[in-house]
A and B are shown apart, each in its own frame.
Chain A
Amino acid sequence: MMTLLDMGKYNFFVWGSMALFGVMLAVDFISIHRQRKQLSRQIKSRQRRQQS
């Protein structure tokens, strides 16, 4: 396993780049879903207030 993951003397740079790629896209993915939930909750509560 360790030989498979070994990038010679460039371990930090290669795996650091891959981690950055994964983390940044994961943050984007989470933020769009959180934004969506917040927005629909906000619109629904606004509609309820207008109806009552």
Chain B
Amino acid sequence: MPVYKPALHFKNVSYTIQQTSILKNITGSFPVGKITTLVGPSGAGKTTLLKLCNGLLSPTEGEIYIEDQPIQRMEPIKLRRHAGIVLQNSPMIRGTVYDNLALPLQLQGKDFPRRMAGELLELVGLDPRFLDRNANDLSGGQQQKVSIGRTLANQSRILLLDEITSALDRVSLQEIEDLIRRVNRERGVTVIWITHNLEQAIRMADYAWVVMDGELIETGEADLLNTSHNDKVRQFVKGEGG
């Protein structure tokens, strides 16, 4: 197995809230410039894991490193711009598509030229004429594309995606997958993608993490989901119909 340089490294990371252990002693890396899919049953702690990477939550034990630097010592705003997250059903803020795309820069007190917003919209596969549309009038797939564009406006080097295609039709799903591949290849952005869709996880991933009941069960090349010798992983894959 090739040795990858990590974009993010977890070292003995645990997360407990109100005496409930959500993540237990996780150690592992997400390879830089690759797409890693994160799979596991509902309630396994996947979203919590993603929020730890973006600094919306902090580990109760252990350390997470970005390029050998513990993220607990990084300035939270800098961390969140470096590791951007698109959460499941990320809301649109009130206003137009432009208002949503411009939000990350406006939070920094900067202007976002309409030309750049139009380019960003094209990158995510939407017509620049959408800029003046009311964001809440868009379809689910279009809103998800705007959400991804909004996170990319921060020039994030790591893109954290939480079930972003779960509510989409087949065409929108295909478009989002193409978009993520493009962002990964053209911009060299590291992608960590939670998905329930095992076919998608295998199709999209260079690398995979399997998380169950708060524990990291297995990591490796994407085909581990088909070839794993771990009973829990095989049982999960079989259960999901993969």
B and A form one assembly: no
Residues of chain A at the chain B interface (Cβ within 8 Å): none
